[in-house]
Structure 1
Amino acid sequence: MKILVVGAGAIGGYFGGRLLEKGEDVTFLVRDRRKKELESTGLNIESVNGDCRLTPPLITKNSKAQEYDVVLLSTKSYQLAGAIEDVRPFVGKETMVLPLLNGIAHVDQLVEAFGEQSVIGGLCFVEATLDEKGAIVQASPMNQLVYGERSGESIDRIKRLQKSFDGTKADFVLSGNIEQEMWHKYLFITTMSGITTLFEQPIGPIRQLESGQRTIAALLKELEEVMLKFGAPVEPGISEKLLDKLNSMGEGMKSSMQRDAEKSVPIEADHLQGYLLEKAHELEVAVPVLETVYTKLKLYEKTVNNSLHF
Structure 2
Amino acid sequence: MKVLVLGAGAVGGYFGARLAEKGVDVTFLVRERRREQLKQRGLRVQSVHGDIHLEQPQLIVSGEKAGPFDVILLSNKAYHLDDSIESIEPYVGGNTVILPLLNGIAHMERLWDTFGRDRVLGGLCFIETTLNPEGDVVQTSQTHDMVFGEWEGGGSERVEALKQAFAGTKASIRASADVQRDMWQKYLFITTLSGITTLMNSSVGPIRDAVYGLELTRQLAEESAAVMRKLGAPIDEDVEDKQMDTFMKQGYRMKASMLRDMEKGLPVEADHLQGFLIQKADQLGIAVPMLKVVYNNLKVYELKREAAK
Which category describes the TM-score, using the shorter chain as reference length?
over 0.9
Amino acid at match of 2:9: G
Amino acid at match of 1:24: V
Alignment-derived partner of residue 253 in structure 1: 254
Structure 2 unaligned blocks of 5 or more = none
Alignment-derived partner of residue 40 in structure 1: 40
Amino acid at match of 2:21: E
What is the CA distance between 1:66 and its match in structure 2? 2.6
Query: How far apart in 2 are the matches of 1:265 and 1:160?
Result: 37
Amino acid at match of 1:52: I
Task: Give yes or no for contact 1:93–1:118 (8 Å, CA) kept in 2.
Answer: no
Residue identity over aligned pairs, in percent, reads 49
Query: How far apart in 2 are the matches of 1:82 and 1:44?
Result: 26
Alignment-derived partner of residue 114 in structure 1: 115
Query: How far apart in 1 are the matches of 2:278 and 2:97?
Result: 31
Amino acid at match of 1:218: Q
Query: How far apart in 1 are the matches of 2:283 and 2:237?
Result: 21
What is the CA distance between 1:65 and its match in structure 2? 4.5
Amino acid at match of 1:207: R
Structure 2 residue matching 1:210: 3-state secondary structure:
coil
Task: Give yes or no for contact 2:3–2:70 (8 Å, CA) kept in 1.
Answer: yes
Please report the TM-score for the alignment, with normalisation by the length of structure 1.
0.98
Please report the TM-score for the alignment, with normalisation by the length of structure 2.
0.98
Query: How far apart in 2 are the matches of 1:303 and 1:57?
Result: 38
Query: How far apart in 2 are the matches of 1:166 and 1:150?
Result: 21
What is the CA distance between 1:208 and its match in structure 2? 1.3
Alignment-derived partner of residue 187 in structure 2: 186
What is the CA distance between 1:209 and its match in structure 2? 2.2
Alignment-derived partner of residue 66 in structure 1: 67
Amino acid at match of 2:115: F
Task: Give yes or no for contact 1:73–1:100 (8 Å, CA) kept in 2.
Answer: yes
Amino acid at match of 2:265: S
Amino acid at match of 1:78: Y
Amino acid at match of 2:133: E
What is the CA distance between 1:234 and its match in structure 2? 1.2
Moved more, 25-34 or 144-153: 144-153
What is the CA distance between 1:14 and its match in structure 2? 0.3
Amino acid at match of 1:109: R
What is the CA distance between 1:296 and its match in structure 2? 0.6
Task: Give yes or no for contact 2:148–2:175 (8 Å, CA) kept in 1.
Answer: yes
Structure 1 residue matching 2:212: 3-state secondary structure:
helix
What is the CA distance between 1:89 and its match in structure 2? 0.4
Query: How far apart in 2 are the matches of 1:109 and 1:115?
Result: 10
Alignment-derived partner of residue 53 in structure 2: 53
Moved more, 62-71 or 82-91: 62-71
What is the CA distance between 1:232 and its match in structure 2? 1.2
Structure 1 unaligned blocks of 5 or more = none
Amino acid at match of 1:182: M
| Deviations 1:169-188 (CA, angstroms, capped at 9, x unpaired) | 10101110000000000000
Alignment-derived partner of residue 106 in structure 2: 105
Query: How far apart in 2 are the matches of 1:147 and 1:49?
Result: 21
Alignment-derived partner of residue 170 in structure 1: 171
